[in-house]
Structure 1
């Protein structure tokens, strides 16, 4: 029986097509369909896809160019801002230096003005003191003369106020007092 099965298998084997190798008509019709689809894709689909990819690439390149331009402008703006900031800092330093110099000058002017005012006030006070001293000196001289005449009149027993000789005596007495006063003040 084994022989019968083997023979039947050999006879059935020749009649059964190989599953790995397709039939010739299948190969021909598959090739024709493949060529038709290939031509359709080659003529219609591939150019549209290529056109879409080209447009997309141009858009991307345009965006990249715009981004590069924007970056270049931003860098220029940053450089300009940096230079303006440096200029502003320099100007601020100059203004500070000028203000310091002005402040020193104002203080010096005020100091000079105060010294001039103090000297003027001192001179005015000195002049006023001298005037008051002269007035006091004249007043004292007159009073001392009057007191001396009254004393001398009391001692002599006569009125000496009208006599020219009495006036000369009083002047000589006061001159002697003045001569003794500086000598006594220096000791």
Structure 2
């Protein structure tokens, strides 16, 4: 007998062992292998699907955040613009108030200076008249302060002096 024609007892024992091993493999190991392969396939395909879903969700969140950021930038620009306008209005109001105060102070100072000038001019005229009368009295040798015409002559002199700058 050769390898191509086995003995029937060996053939039966070989077939029984083959079917026994095939049955154990088919009943025990193949379901486990299929279960592991299915779990791997689910992990691979499901992981990819979950990754795509997570990526889509991340894109949606990113787009939402970009929209919120754009709205916040727009709002900040509006706030800056409003603040600049309010600042310009406040500066203009303060400047106008300061200008009004300055004008009031200048007007009050001008009035005060004019009043002081008139008073000083009157006092100076009186002093000039007194000195002139005293000097004239010394020249003449008699006191001239008692003469009624002395005051009229001095006033006429000062009127001529005031008229000269106006004519020029």
**Category of TM-score, reference length = shorter chain:** 0.7 to 0.9
2:110 is the alignment partner of 1:126? yes
2:121 is the alignment partner of 1:165? no
2:107 is the alignment partner of 1:102? no
How does the TM-score come out when normalised to structure 1? 0.68
Q: Counterparts in 2 of 1:4-83, with a 5 A limit?
A: 17-58=1-42, 63-64=47-48, 66-83=50-67
- Pick from 60, 75, 92: which aligns with 1:91? 75
Please give the secondary structure, in 2, of the residue aligned with 1:35: helix
Structure 1: state its 5+ residue gaps.
Answer: 1-16
CA distance in 1, matches of 2:76, 2:35: 60
Give the conservation status (yes or no) of the 8 Å contact 1:149–1:170: no
Q: Return the index of the structure with the highest Cα Rg.
A: 1
CA distance in 2, matches of 1:177, 1:39: 147
CA distance in 1, matches of 2:152, 2:28: 152
- In structure 2, relative to structure 1, the CA distance for the partners of 1:180 and 1:60 (3 Å cut) is closer
Structure 2: state its 5+ residue gaps.
Answer: none
- In structure 2, relative to structure 1, the CA distance for the partners of 1:182 and 1:150 (3 Å cut) is farther
CA distance in 1, matches of 2:163, 2:25: 145
- Root-mean-square deviation over aligned CA pairs: 3.0
How does the TM-score come out when normalised to structure 2? 0.74
Query: Deviation per CA, 1:152-185, whole angstroms, max 9, x where unpaired?
Result: 44455543323333333332333233223432xx
Question: Looking at both structures, which has the greater relative contact order when contacts are Cα pairs under 8 Å and sequence separation is at least 6?
Answer: 1
- Pick from 123, 140, 152: which aligns with 2:124? 140
